[in-house]
Structure 1
Amino acid sequence: MKLRSYMLQKSGREPNTVYLPYTFDNIQSLKYISFGTKIIECDVRADSLSDNTISIGQEIIADLKLPFLTPIHVFVYEETIVIGPLIGIFTAGFTESSLRPIGERSLFFANLLTAKDDTKAYLFAFGSHQINWKEGTITAYFYNEQRWVQHEIPFPHVVYDRLPNRKTENHRAIARVKERLQHEYLIPWFNPGFFNKWDIYRCLQKDEAAVSYLPETHRFTSFEQIEFLLSKYGHVYIKPINGSLGSSIYQVRYDFEENEYYCRYRDADGNKLRKYHSLEYLINHLLSRYNLETFIVQQGISLLRINGQPVDFRIHTNKDRHGYWRMSAIAAKIAGQGSMTTHMNNGGDVKSLDEIFPDPVERESVLQKLTTAVLLLSESIDTHLDGCIGEIGFDLGLDKTGKVWLFEANSKPGRSIFHHPKLKESDRLTKELFLEYALHLTEKSLFSPEELFQ
């Protein structure tokens, strides 16, 4: 559907009338105007002097709870003028501070909510405590003109899930909010949950084309299982199924000549390397505090190295205005000294692709390989998992032969790579695409809701 955007302005004429540009079709058939989940009856008339401004009476502005007037998309659905999209970003951790209402993450959300003038969307952040279920309203946080402001608004067209962690996501009150908004109000909710490493691995195993990117991976069952994988690959990774940010990952390597086991990991004191005479002692010494049934054991990959340090790649994919996957950002991550992962909190460093592949032919070859992989993997995950998935952050590696491997897929990828000065355009593109996908979901919810709510 081709959309136009219009400037909204307060009408100085009748307070309960909407004046549409004369270019609108079938103005005489329109009887309602809506914003988010709020819909009211109104008089609709043509403005013979305007082709791009919608004038709204002050009573209608108040009843719709329009927080401010801005250029915005306008849909026509049956007899209704729909102003939108109104996009809510759902999170937790709100404070009483007017300067930092979401605590340490306030800057992150301010960046996310700061859209270009031509974005044409109302964007706000909210949490479960900002919802007034009786009135069907939200006390929303907008970030306008370099400051946080609150407005009382209707429930949104679309919700983008940016909960901070799995513990918060599993809280009963949070789960109830998600349930009610999705099922009682039929509001599309995208990126609805954190990925589970084992679930992702199993769903990708169903796709013949995706299997070639998967390292051999198993749920932990026994020491013998680890010994077997060590005999095949020389080293393995032991990871929590629901881990993030490289936390609680252990790299175990067996030295055949010394008959010794080496383990790299990170604790509160930094990166560590320890030697053990037996695998059983290693596991009992380092991992005894964990329930190992919640861990996976994964084939180790001999990664491409830059200046002697392993490198992997963080790649973002997003759905666009039409619901198609696009590669939106790519960065190389180089492991810190003594670290077995490339996470920045482990001392890793972010580089742009041209910084590590100065040869344009080699750089283009790598880019094509990685792009092909992430688009295929995005489609596969989207096909096999429930819910509206709008973005994925992938960690991929290249081994010494140039083969691509998938290490992890994240439904709520961090944005730390965008601090790199050469990734500013990618930062802009990922924000633009998340808004495009929200617009796509808004249209779907209006014109073909059966595709979203089956």
Structure 2
Amino acid sequence: MSVIYSIELSAKAWNTVILPSRFQHQNLSHLAFGTLNVPCQFTFEPSLKQTIILSEDLIKELKIPYLGKTHLIFSEDTLYLGPLVGIFTAGFTQSLLRPVGERSLLFAKLMAMDSSTGGFVFLFGAHHIDWDLGKISGYIYREGGWKKVVVPFPNVVYDRLPNRKTENHTAIKRVKERLQKDYSIPWFNPGFFNKWDIHQLLSKDESVNRYLPETHLSPTYDQIEQMLATYKSVYLKPANGSLGLGVFKLIYSREEEVYYSRHRDDNHQNRLRKYSSLEHFFKHSFKNRKLEDYLIQQGIRLLRINNNQPVDFRLHANKNQDGQWKIAALAGKVAGKGSVTTHLKSGGTVKTLDEIFEDQRDRLSAMDRLTKAAILLSEAIDSHVDGYIGEIGFDLGIDLNGQVWIFEANSKPGRSIFSHPQLKNEDHLTKKLSLEYALYLTEKTIKSPEEMWQ
């Protein structure tokens, strides 16, 4: 971890940066913040340790929004302060109390991390950019409240768009393309994953394809019947779905010669229905949906706890300051009664591994297998998907034979597991690592641009 420096203000000096004397060998003539770069003077002070001092005019010229903590990145004759991280999203309100509604608290907590990780974080949308003047009118969260600020274009953009519809908007696509191509600003977590695309790329990778359940896109009635005969149960999932919405579990009972379906209806109730045939099921439960937009996935007999309730696991994989994958959070999700998924909104509950596995050996074995799988899957996805990926949320399962399976990979993982009181440290770590990865991308862009944009 690199050293973090506090920025202090000098009202006396003019166009000057005062650094600790250990940096006097650096041949410096420019200071940069975000994409702004200005000529200035540098002096050195032996008494300074983890502090740098800037003249007031430089702070104003570079649009540094507050006297925060910074990393020092040296490249040729320029000292770069930051990183300046722009969180890009949509859905802004007119309220300064909650500029992005319910998500305001999440972003406020993320911004609070900059004091421990170093750097500056602000929130902005497409309409906040002034392309002619090269500045952004965004939001910061400081001292208990949101404030509007004007800052330069950032060193890196952290994509936190709320949904696929927004992501595919023409204006959003233009902003993303322009900041990357015209300004060479790296943009990480650039898009939502498509379940089928991820399945296809992982199926071709021998290091991870053993974790994949049998899956097909746009299944036919014959395929559904064949998979039901093989696995006794199957899942039908929207290829571009999220939050467990629109998911059906189908079970065929040989004894009764009927089909059972579990799903969550439009009134958010878990439903179990019985049908005499597949045609009957599709006619009554699938009438507003298209089978070509769905995947079929084999049913798996998962590990069960409590009153025979199935459990799967959410793992948050994040890149750190070295650009390496690590597992920042791991928790179990126990399905609610009658639920087709383990999502909390379907009645699921979050459990720590200590709560799931009473035996320490079982707990450590599960942790090892799940963590190993998630790291391998992260590396595989990262190597095959375009763009910079800084975090992935995995839904993994363990079957009754101890085999690990992947059910889903999310590029914009939800944070519902962090409602558990014993997962506060993990919640903190995932946010911290996101900002550490932003520093990694910033340093790479400054020092090795040819590697970033080759």
TM-score range, shorter chain: over 0.9
Q: 8 Å contact 1:32–1:40 — kept in the other structure?
A: yes
In structure 2, distance between residues paired with 1:33 and 1:163: 32
Q: Is the 8 A contact 1:396 1:406 kept in 2?
A: yes
Number of residue pairs aligned between Structure 1 and Structure 2? 452
The reply to whether residue 231 of structure 1 matches residue 233 of structure 2 is: no
Give the match for residue 188 of structure 1: 186
Q: Is the 8 A contact 2:123 2:138 kept in 1?
A: yes
Deviation at 1:46, TM superposition (A): 2.0
1:3-22 pair list within 5 angstroms: 3-22=2-21
Q: Deviations over 1:6-42 (max 9, x none)?
A: 2211223332122222110424x21100000000111
State the TM-score, normalizing by the size of structure 2.
Answer: 0.97
* Matched residue type, 2:106: F
1:63: which partner in 2? Answer: 61
How far apart are the structure 2 equivalents of 1:353 and 1:369? 13
Aligned equivalents of 1:51 and 1:280: distance in 2? Answer: 74
* Structure 1 residues 303-318: aligned runs within 5 Å: 303-307=302-306, 308-318=308-318
The superposition leaves residues 245-282 of structure 1 with CA deviations (integer Å, 9 ceiling, x where unpaired) of: 00000101111111101100011230101111111221
Greater CA drift, 97-106 or 190-199: 97-106
In structure 2, what residue type is equivalent to 1:329?
A
Task: Tell me how far apart the structure 2 counterparts of residues 75 and 3 of structure 1 sit (CA, whole Å).
Answer: 10
SS at match of 1:329: strand
- Give the root-mean-square deviation of aligned CA atoms: 1.2
Percent of matched pairs sharing the same residue: 54
SS of the residue 2:207 aligns to: helix
Aligned residue number for residue 336 of structure 1: 336
Partner SS state of residue 405, structure 1: strand
SS in 2 for 1:23: helix
Q: Does 1:277 align with 2:276?
A: yes
8 A Cα contact 1:370 1:404, kept in partner: yes
SS of equivalent residue, structure 2 residue 208: helix
Q: Give structure 1 regions of 4+ aligned residues with deviation exceeding 3 angstroms.
A: none
Q: Distance in 1 between matches of 2:424 and 2:72?
A: 30
Residues 48 and 303 from structure 1, CA distance in 2 versus in 1: closer, same or farther, beyond 3 angstroms? Answer: closer
Q: Distance in 2 between matches of 1:352 and 1:50?
A: 45
**Within 1, Cα distance between the matches of 2:246 and 2:339?**
13
Q: Deviations over 1:149-190 (max 9, x none)?
A: 111000111111110000000011111111111111111111
Equivalent in the alignment of 1:440: 440
Alpha-carbon shift at residue 48 of structure 1 (Å) = 4.1
Amino acid aligned to 2:438: A
Counterpart CA distance in 2 for 1:24 and 1:65 is 24
Report deviation, 1:116: 6.1
Alpha carbons 2:114, 2:120 under 8 Å: kept: no
Q: For the Cα contact (< 8 Å) 2:72–2:79, is it kept in 1?
A: yes
Contact 1:23 1:51 in 2 (8 A): no
Q: Which residue in the other structure is 1:89 paired with?
A: 87
Structure 1 Cα separation of the partners of residues 209 and 2 of structure 2: 40
* Letter paired with 1:64: L
User: Which position in structure 2 is the counterpart of 1:135?
Assistant: 133
Q: Is the 8 A contact 1:3 1:75 kept in 2?
A: no
Residue 355 of structure 1 corresponds to 355
> Unpaired segments of 5 or more residues in structure 1?
none
Give the match for residue 301 of structure 1.
300
1:69-103 deviations in Å (ceiling 9; x for gaps):
12211111110010011111111111110111111
Matches within 5 A, 1:149-188: 149-188=147-186
- Counterpart of 1:4, as a letter, is V
Determine the C-alpha separation between the residues in 2 that align with 1:141 and 1:382: 31
Which residue is equivalent to 1:289?
288
Displacement of 1:5: 2.4
1:104 and 2:109 aligned: no
- Residue 288 of structure 1 and its aligned partner are, at CA, apart by 2.3
Q: Distance in 1 between matches of 2:334 and 2:5?
A: 46
Helix, strand or coil at the partner of 2:23 = coil
- SS of the residue aligned with 2:371? helix
Q: Provide the C-alpha distance between the structure 2 equivalents of 1:211 and 1:295, rounded to a whole number of angstroms.
A: 21
Residue 261 of structure 1 is matched in structure 2 by: 259
- Structure 2, unmatched stretches of 5+, are none
The answer as to whether partners of 2:114 and 2:435 remain within 8 angstroms in 1 is no
Q: Secondary structure at the match of 1:66?
A: coil
CA distance in 2, matches of 1:108, 1:68: 21
